[in-house]
Amino acid sequence: MFGVQLASGGSASMANQIVIHTEIQELAREVVRFLENNKSAASQVTSIHDMMHTIVTSQKKGLEAWQQTVVSNLNDWKKDLKQEQKEKKMAQDGEINKIKTMLQQLLSDKIEVAESTENGLRKRKSEQSEEQVVAKMAKPGAELTPADRYKAAAALAKERRQKLKFACILCVMNDHKTVACEAYGSTAARKGRMAELGICTTCGRNHVGQCKFDQSKQCDLCGNFHLKYLCPTTFD
C-alpha cells in the first residue's frame, strides 16, 4: 500500500503505512515552506541591495553638492579677500597722500617762516638807527638835532602802532607773551614801559586821555582787579 511493500511475515501493517504516508506529506510541506522561505529571503536580499545602492547614490550626490558648496564658498571668500585688500590699499594710499600733502604744507610754511624771519631781520637792521636815536634821546643831557628828534618820535609812534600786532606788547616780540616777558620782569618796569609806549595800565590799550574804565578786569592769578601781567603778587 502507498508504494510500501508488505513484509511476508506481515510486519508492515496498514497502520504503519498510514503513519509513513503522513510523515511523507509533512516532509513535502516542509520542503514547500523551505522553498517559499528561500524565495522571501532572496527578495529581502534584493531589497537590501537596492536600499544600499540608493544610500550610496544619495551619499555620492550629497558629497558632490557639499563639494560644490565648499568650492563656491571658497571662491566667494577669495573675492571678498581681494576686495578687502583693494580697499585697504586704497585707504593706505589715501593716508600716504594726506601725509605727503601735510609735509608739503609744512615745508611751504617753513619756507615762509624763514623768508619772514629774514625779512624781519633786514627790517630790524634798517630800524637800528632809529633805535639808536631813541636810546640817545633817553640819555640825560643828550643833544639831538631836529632830524634826530623826528626819527625818535617816528620810531616811538611806529612802535605804538605795532604793539598790538605782537604777542608781547612791551618788547614787541612774537616769541613770548606779555606775562612771560623777561626784558620787563617786574610790575614797575612794565608800567614804565607802558608809559613809554602810551599803553593804559587800566585797560591795556593805547588811547589818549583818561581811560573809560574805572578799574581793570579781575586778575585770574590773584583775584584782584588789575591787568594780569601787572599782578604784584606774581611778578614782584
Q: What is the DSSP string of 174-199?
A: SSS-GGG-STT-SHHHHHHHHHHHTB
pLDDT higher than threshold 90 for residue 207: no
d(Cα 220, Cα 25) in Å, to the nearest integer? Answer: 132
For residues 30 and 229, which has the higher predicted lDDT (pLDDT)?
229
Residues 40-55 as b or e (16 or more Cβ within 10 Å = b)? eeeeeeeeeeeeeeee
So what's the pLDDT on residue 45?
A: 66
Residue 213 has phi, psi (to 5 degrees) of: -100, 135
So what's the pLDDT on residue 189?
A: 92
CA angle 113–115–120, rounded 5-degree value? 90
For residues 187 and 112, which has the higher predicted lDDT (pLDDT)?
187
First to last CA, the chain: 158
d(Cα 182, Cα 53) in Å, to the nearest integer? Answer: 102
So what's the pLDDT on residue 205?
A: 87
- What is the average pLDDT value for the chain, to the nearest integer? 75
Residues β-bridged to residue 218: 225
* Contact residues for 6 (Cβ-Cβ < 8 A; gap 6+): 12
Q: For 167, which DSSP code?
A: S
pTM of the shown model: 0.32
pLDDT over 90 for what percent of the chain?
11
* Contact residues for 168 (Cβ-Cβ < 8 A; gap 6+): 174, 176, 177, 178, 180, 181
For residues 13 and 203, which has the higher predicted lDDT (pLDDT)?
203
Residues 177-196 as b or e (16 or more Cβ within 10 Å = b)? ebeebeebeebeebeebbee
So what's the pLDDT on residue 4?
A: 45
148: alpha, beta or left? (left if phi > 0; alpha if psi -120 to 50): alpha
